[in-house]
Chains A and B, each alone.
Chain A
Amino acid sequence: MDKMPRWADVFLVPFINLILAFVVSGLVVLAIGENPFKAIWIMISGSLGSTSGIGYTLYYATNYMFTGLAVAVAFHARLFNIGGEGQAAVAGIGTALVLLAFDWPYWWLAMPFAIIGAAVFGAAWAFIPAYLQAKRGSHIVITTIMFNFIGAALMGFLLNGILKNPDTQNAETVAFPKGAHLPTVHEVLSPLGINFAKSAPLNVSFLLALACAVGVWFLLWRTRLGYQIRAFGQSETAARYAGIDAVKITVITMLISGALAGMLSINVVMGEQGRLIKEFVEGAGFVGIAVALMGRSHPFGIVLASLLFGMLTQGGFELMWDMPAISREMVLVIQALIILFTGALDNMVRDPVERLFLRMRKRKG
C-alpha cells in the first residue's frame, strides 16, 4: 500500500517545501533590512505582472525544461549527469556551425537542421563521460563536471580563434543569417490581434521544450528502450540478470541526455542572441539539476518546476533592479534556499506528511 495519496506526493509536499523556503528567504530579506512581503510582491509582479515579464519567465523556463529533462532522463538510469552546462555550451557550437553554413531563407527550414546540429554536439559531449563510465568505471559525476570546464575552455578557444567575429572585441561569432531568426511570441501573436511585449525573448523553442517533455515521457514509459533504462536505473544487478546491456544503456541514455541539454542552444543561441556568445548557458545546466529534483524526474513535474524557476530567475532580476539592498548574490541565496528545501531537505517534510496520512487513515479504518 502506498504511504500517501499521489496528489500529496506530487503537489502537497513540494508546495510545503516551497512555503518553507519562502519563509526562510523572507527572514533573510528581513535581516538585511528590507520588507519581505514587498520583495515577494516584486518577484511575482515582475515575473507574471506584464507580458514582458511573462515572456522572460517562459523564456527562462524553456531553458530549464531542456536541462531538467536532460538530468531526469539520465537519472532514470541512475546516472547523475552534472554536465548539462558543458553539453549545452558545446551544442551551441553545433547550432552556430549549422546556421553559419548557409544563408538560410526560412526559419522553419533552418530549425530542424539546427536541432540536429545541437543534438549531435550535445550528445557527443556526453558520449565521452558515458563511455568512460560504462567501459572504465570512471565516475560520471566527476567526468561530467570536468567536461564542463573543458567545454568552457573549448568555447573560449574557438570564439577567440577561428569562430571569432573579427569586427568586435567580444568572444562571439558573426550574426546568423536573418532568415534563421526564430519567431518570437510577439511575432506569432500579433497577427492574431494579441499584443505581447516586443522585448520578450520567448520564441517557438518553448513549444519544442513542451514537445521534448512529452517525448521523454513517451520514451520512458512507452518504449522498450525506456523500460530498459528504468530497469537498469532501478537495479543494475537485476538488469544484468535480465541480460540488459549495461554499456549500451549507459551510452544511449547519456546521448539522449546530452542532446536534450543541447536543445537549450536553440532557445538561446538561435532564438534570442542570433549569434554564438561565449557564456550563453549562464548556469541553466546546473539549475536543471534542481528542476529535475523538484520535478521528481517526471516530465510533467519538470515543466512545473521549470515555470517556478523561470519565475524565480525573472523575479530575481526585477528584485535586484527595484531593491538596491538586494544584490545578485542575494537572489542566488533565495534560489539556493528553494533548491535546499525542495531537494536536499525533501525528507524533512515528506516523513511527517506521510505519518500524518497514515494516522488519518488509521483513524478512518
Chain B
Amino acid sequence: MEITFDNNIPIYIQLVEYMKIYLISGVFKCGEKLPSVRDFATDFKVNPNTMQKALAELESLKLIYTERTNGKYVTKEKKLIEKLKDEYAITLAKSYFQGMKRIGLGKADSIKYLERVNE
C-alpha cells in the first residue's frame, strides 16, 4: 500500500483521499474491520498521529466508525459508499469534459472519443 506523498498538501488529507478510494473500490468492504492505526501507519509509512487524524476525519464523515475497545470498522451503510462513488465519478467525468472543451471538442465528440478508446 505504499504511496507517494505530495509534500505540498497536508499528509492527513492525502491519507483521507487514499482511504476513500479504498472504500469505494471495495479494498475494505462495508462493515469490515479495519487494521489498527499502528498497522496502517506502518503500511503507509506515515506517522501514527497523522494516520489517527486521517481516520478521525473519515469517522466524522461517517464512512467508518469505532466500536468501543474493538477497533474501527467500515460503515454498514452501503448508501454512503455508493454516494461517495457517485461523487467521485461525477468529478472525474466533469474533468474529462472540461479537458475536451479546452481543446475545442463538444459533448457529442467527447462521447465519441470515450467510446473509441473503450473499444
A and B, one complex? no
